[in-house]
Structure 1
Amino acid sequence: MRPSHLFLGVLVAAVWGVNFTVIEIGLDHFPPLLFSALRFLAAALPAVFLVGRPKVAWKWIVAVGLVLGVAKFGLVFAGMDAGMPAGLSSLVLQIQAVFTAVIAAAVLGERPSRVRVLGMLVALAGIGVAAVDEGSSGPLGAFAMVVGAAAAWGVSNVLTRKASPPDALNFMVWVSTVPVLPLLGLSLLTEGASRDLAALRGLDWQGAGALLFVAWVSTVFGFGAWGWLLRRHPASTVAPFSLLVPVFGMSSAALFLGEPVTGLRWCAAVLLVGGVALASLTPRRRATRRDAASCVPPVRDVESPGQRDETSRMLTS
Structure 2
Amino acid sequence: MHPQRNAILIALAAAALFGAATPLAKALLGSMSAFLVAGLFYLGSGLGLCACIAIRRWRQGDAGSAAQHRFQRTEWPWLFGAILAGGVAGPALLMLGLSSTPAATSSLLLNLESVLTAVIAWVVFRENVDVQVLLGMLAIVAGGVLLSLHPGHFALSVGALLIFGACLCWAIDNNLTRKVAANDAMVIACLKGLIAGPVDLTIAFSLGATLPSASLVAAAMLTGFAGYGVSLVLFVVALRHLGTARTGAYFSVAPLFGVALSLVLWPELPSITFWIAAMFMALGVWLHVRERHEHDHTHDRLEHTHRHRHDEHHQHKHDFEYDSDEPHTHSHVHLPITHSHAHFPDIHHRHRH
Question: SS at 2:220's partner residue?
Answer: helix
Give unpaired runs (5+ residues) of structure 2.
55-65, 299-335, 349-353
- Name which one, 1 or 2, has greater alpha-carbon Rg: 2
Letter in 2 for 1:23: A
Q: CA deviation at 1:22?
A: 0.9
Residue 254 of structure 1 is matched in structure 2 by 263
Structure 1 Cα separation of the partners of residues 256 and 166 of structure 2: 20
Residue 88 of structure 2 is matched in structure 1 by 70
Contact kept in structure 1, 2:42 and 2:225, CA below 8 Å: no
The one of 185, 209, 216 equivalent to 1:168 is 185
Structure 2 Cα separation of the partners of residues 135 and 242 of structure 1: 25
Letter in 2 for 1:103: I
The one of 212, 219, 230 equivalent to 1:210 is 219
The one of 134, 143, 165 equivalent to 2:150 is 134
Name the Cα RMSD after superposition. Answer: 4.7
State the identity as a percent: 22
Give unpaired runs (5+ residues) of structure 1.
309-317
Question: SS at 1:214's partner residue?
Answer: helix
Q: CA deviation at 1:270?
A: 3.0
Structure 1 residues 248 and 146, CA gap change in structure 2 (3 angstroms) = farther
The one of 136, 139, 151 equivalent to 1:122 is 139
Q: Which has the higher helix share?
A: 1
Structure 2 Cα separation of the partners of residues 255 and 143 of structure 1: 30
- CA offsets per residue over residues 272-295 of structure 1, 9 Å max, x none? 4533653x545463225xx57xxx
Q: CA deviation at 1:204?
A: 5.1
Question: SS at 2:295's partner residue?
Answer: coil
Q: Which has the higher strand share?
A: 2
- CA offsets per residue over residues 17-63 of structure 1, 9 Å max, x none? 32111111121121111221122222223644746586253322221
- CA offsets per residue over residues 35-94 of structure 1, 9 Å max, x none? 211222222236447465862533222211112212444456677787648xx95x9856
Structure 2 Cα separation of the partners of residues 113 and 140 of structure 1: 32
- CA offsets per residue over residues 202-230 of structure 1, 9 Å max, x none? 3252x224312222233444455x48987
The one of 22, 25, 28 equivalent to 1:26 is 28
Structure 2 Cα separation of the partners of residues 299 and 152 of structure 1: 37
Question: SS at 2:150's partner residue?
Answer: helix
Residue 42 of structure 1 is matched in structure 2 by 44
TM-score if structure 2 supplies the norm length? 0.60
Structure 1 Cα separation of the partners of residues 45 and 292 of structure 2: 35
Residue 279 of structure 2 is matched in structure 1 by 270
Structure 1 residues 101 and 12, CA gap change in structure 2 (3 angstroms) = closer
Structure 1 residues 11 and 175, CA gap change in structure 2 (3 angstroms) = closer
- CA offsets per residue over residues 242-280 of structure 1, 9 Å max, x none? 5764333111112324677433344334334533653x5
Structure 2 Cα separation of the partners of residues 243 and 277 of structure 1: 14
Structure 1 Cα separation of the partners of residues 169 and 279 of structure 2: 23
The one of 112, 123, 130 equivalent to 1:106 is 123
Residue 182 of structure 1 is matched in structure 2 by 199
Letter in 1 for 2:279: V
Question: SS at 1:45's partner residue?
Answer: helix
Question: SS at 1:163's partner residue?
Answer: coil
Question: SS at 1:268's partner residue?
Answer: helix
Structure 1 Cα separation of the partners of residues 140 and 235 of structure 2: 26
Contact kept in structure 1, 2:43 and 2:221, CA below 8 Å: no
Question: SS at 1:275's partner residue?
Answer: helix
Q: CA deviation at 1:173?
A: 0.5
- CA offsets per residue over residues 77-119 of structure 1, 9 Å max, x none? 677787648xx95x98565443222101221122411222222
